[in-house]
A = this chain, B = another copy of it.
Amino acid sequence: MEYKDRVEAALGKGTMRRRSDRPQAIISAAIRLVGEHGFATTRLEDVAEAAGVSKAAIYLYFESKEDLFFALVREGALPTVADTNAAVARHEGSLSDLLQEIILGIGHLMAHTELGTIVKIVAAEARNFPELVTYHRDEVVARAMGTISSVIEKGIASGEFRPCDARAQAALCIFPVLMNGIWMNSIGPDPSIVDPDALLKAHAETFIRGIAA
């Protein structure tokens, strides 16, 4: 792609940043539509319309439908991981409080923002795009699990938590949060079955009791 190459030469390789906010508008529209319908069923023409451009314009910013898809998954999750790491780094106080903060914080993003949509998309499309799995496993999941399990290990060492498999417990800490996000993006908000926010609170309490010394 000539245009892309020229811009990359001017602004640096890697994440393309344009002066216009077109790419971001396209990605946002794509996250919403792909989250609803899946990758294959989402028509580029609909993405274009939702972003207020023509289909051909998408090809000014992305090489292909697949390329847009990767961009969407990449941009959708990284900020959250970074934010969580930062929150852990600056936290002071009991580790139980920190865990609760993590659960409610990530949980809220999962249930009510694009992040839950991304998780659903990755789960749904994983087998079709193996690179996606590798990327997410290494860049998102491994990091998040590492952060949480280090918190749990610290708590075990300090006697705040009972001795247990910190990695397994880290997974158990985020699995309900992830499932809640998937639920909200599939079955949808349906308080008659589960109220997402009440569930997160209950999870924090039960989980922390469950690993308490």
Contact = CB atoms under 8 A, between A and B. Distances in A.
Interface of A: 35-41, 120, 122-128, 133, 136-137, 141-142, 145, 164-165, 167-169, 171-172, 175-176, 178-180, 182-183, 186-188, 190, 193-195, 198-199, 202-203, 205-212
How many copies make up the complex? Answer: 2
16 contacts: A37-B127, A38-B40, A123-B187, A126-B186, A127-B186, A165-B202, A167-B194, A168-B195, A168-B198, A168-B202, A171-B199, A172-B199, A175-B183, A179-B179, A206-B211, A209-B209
A123 B37 contact: no
Contacts of A183: 123, 175
Q: State the main secondary structure of chain A at its contact with B.
A: helix
A122 B185 CA distance: 12
Given A165-B202, A209-B209, 20 more contacts: A35-B127, A36-B127, A38-B40, A38-B124, A38-B128, A120-B124, A123-B124, A127-B186, A133-B186, A137-B187, A137-B190, A142-B193, A175-B176, A175-B180, A178-B179, A179-B179, A179-B182, A205-B210, A206-B210, A208-B210
